[in-house]
Amino acid sequence: MKIKLFAATAVLVLGLAACGGEPPAPAPAPAAPVAEAPPPEPAPVATASVGETPADPVAFMKTRHDNYKDLGKNFKLMSDNNKLPAPDMAAVTAAAAKVKEYAGQMGTWFPPGTGPEAGETKAKAIVWTERADFDAKLADLQTEVDKLVTAAGTDAAAFKAQFGPTGGKCKACHDKFREEEKK
Amino acid sequence: MTDATVAIETSPAPTPKQKVWDAPVRIVHWLLVFCVAFSWWTAEINEMQWHYWSGLTIMGLLVFRVYWGFAGSETARFSRFVKGPGAIAGYMRKLLKPNYRATFGHNPLGALSVIAILLALAVQVCLGLIAGDTDGINSGPLNPYVNYELGADAADLHEDLFPFLLIPIGLHIAAIIFYLVAKRINLVGPMITGSRKAGDVEGPPAGIAAVPVWRFLLGVVIAVGTVWLILWLPTIR
């Protein structure tokens, strides 16, 4: 019995030590708060094609970041409504349309020369080296977003059923192509 | 459980047991160990729906443990084990003496780690409740009450403060090893079985008295009810 207890102790201590031993993520420098009193619509990046490096990559990347942030806000609006028994379907429909607009442009957001080598971004370099898979995942997203727009125009139940699968396509790409650490 | 502590002098073979921890204290303790590890792991592998339920489970366990700190058995009660600086200093002097006897329940120094861990968990739970990721996909149940920026800041803090939970947990484990190695007292065994050999230890030989079952059930109702309330609130926003 004593040995069992000692073994249990050892296992628990080792288990906990293993958890505790994980190096904590480096605390990031506090991000400069983006003061945007009425959130301005970020100018969509629509011009640069997959092939050309933009004239000002840093500005281009900043716009890309702002677009993703606005996309996140539209998603949060849908997520908040997803938790309500009676979602505000007008707001949900508008947000879904906005997401569709962004998803449609996203293929032009990652031209050469706008990766981690060019400046601050969470986009991994494999976005450019494994472009075919990136595009395939983007196509998946666009398929689900089309369904989401249709569902939002149908009713609350259809929207709620389609919200999770759409988010899953966002996650599928983030898991592979986005850095976890805040940069 | 026959040999959680090693008596200094030889004692007769059949030794009576001293009950030190009631079942709810032990169950909450080990569920917290599991849920904290599980929460860390699900965050690491980005399985946020599991993280969500793990965090809510921790919240329920915390609510129960705080209630049990007033309604539980003698060693579970805050009033019994949370002591001032004088008692802590006195305990530390006693600890270094060869005739040290194991404390009945939490010792005054260990009480600090109990409070620190409970507080750190409470802070993490509160942050997690309102946290939302920058994608607007995964969020705590109360995230609809805050805007995008506040939700994202809460999520950042939730992650950045994790080491402050690991510090008291690390000290807690270090202390367990210290007692095992330096004092030859196994503290893990009694936290599993609830009892230890009633040889050379402090406290009444029989240990804690039984607590009526209704008090336990009331605590479960309060804990589950609190989690239910948190989940229900956003639906009437």
Residue of higher predicted confidence among B205 and A28: B205
Q: What interface predicted TM-score (ipTM) does this complex get?
A: 0.74
**Alpha-carbon gap: A72 to the closest alpha carbon of chain B (Å):** 4
Contact A83 B37 (CB under 8 A): no
Compute chain B's Rg from CA coordinates.
20
> How much is the average pLDDT of B139-150?
94
Nearest neighbour of A1 by CB, restricted to B3, B132, B176: B3
**Residue B173: what residue type?**
I
How many CB pairs lie under 8 A apart between chains A and B? 107
> How much is the average pLDDT of B131-136?
92
Contact B156 A24 (CB under 8 A): no
pLDDT of residue A89: 95
Interface of B with A in 15-54 (CB under 8 A): 33, 36-37, 40-41, 44, 46
Which residue ranges make up each domain of chain B? 17-236
> What is the span of the domain harbouring residue A95?
56-183
pLDDT of residue B110: 93
Q: What is the pTM of this model?
A: 0.79
pLDDT digits (tens, 9 = 90+) for A51-64: 689 999 999 999 99
Stretches in chain A below the pLDDT threshold 50:
1-40, 44-49, 183
Query: Per-residue pLDDT for B15 more than 80?
Result: no
Q: What is the dihedral of CA A43, A46, A50, A55, to 10 degrees?
A: -60
Query: Per-residue pLDDT for B163 more than 70?
Result: yes
CA of B170: which chain A residue's CA is closest?
A: A20
Nearest neighbour of A75 by CB, restricted to B1, B41, B137: B137
**Alpha-carbon gap: B163 to the closest alpha carbon of chain A (Å):** 6
CATH at residue A163: 1.20.120.10
Residue A71: list chain B partners with CB under 8 A: 135-136
CA angle B69-B74-B75, nearest 5°?
Answer: 75
Q: Alpha helices, DSSP H only, in A38-155? A: 57-82, 89-105, 126-129, 131-154
Domain total of chain A: 1
pLDDT of residue B16: 82
Q: Is residue A48 part of a domain?
A: no
pLDDT digits (tens, 9 = 90+) for B17-50: 899 999 999 999 999 999 999 999 999 998 999 9
Residue A164, both tokens: 């999770």
Residue B138, both tokens: 């995964």
**Alpha-carbon gap: B215 to the closest alpha carbon of chain A (Å):** 30
Q: Does domain B17-236 have CATH number 3.30.420?
A: no
pLDDT of residue B115: 96
pLDDT digits (tens, 9 = 90+) for B175-198: 999 999 998 899 999 999 999 987
pLDDT of residue B206: 86
> How much is the average pLDDT of B3-30?
74
Q: Is residue A107 part of a domain?
A: yes
**Alpha-carbon gap: A67 to the closest alpha carbon of chain B (Å):** 11
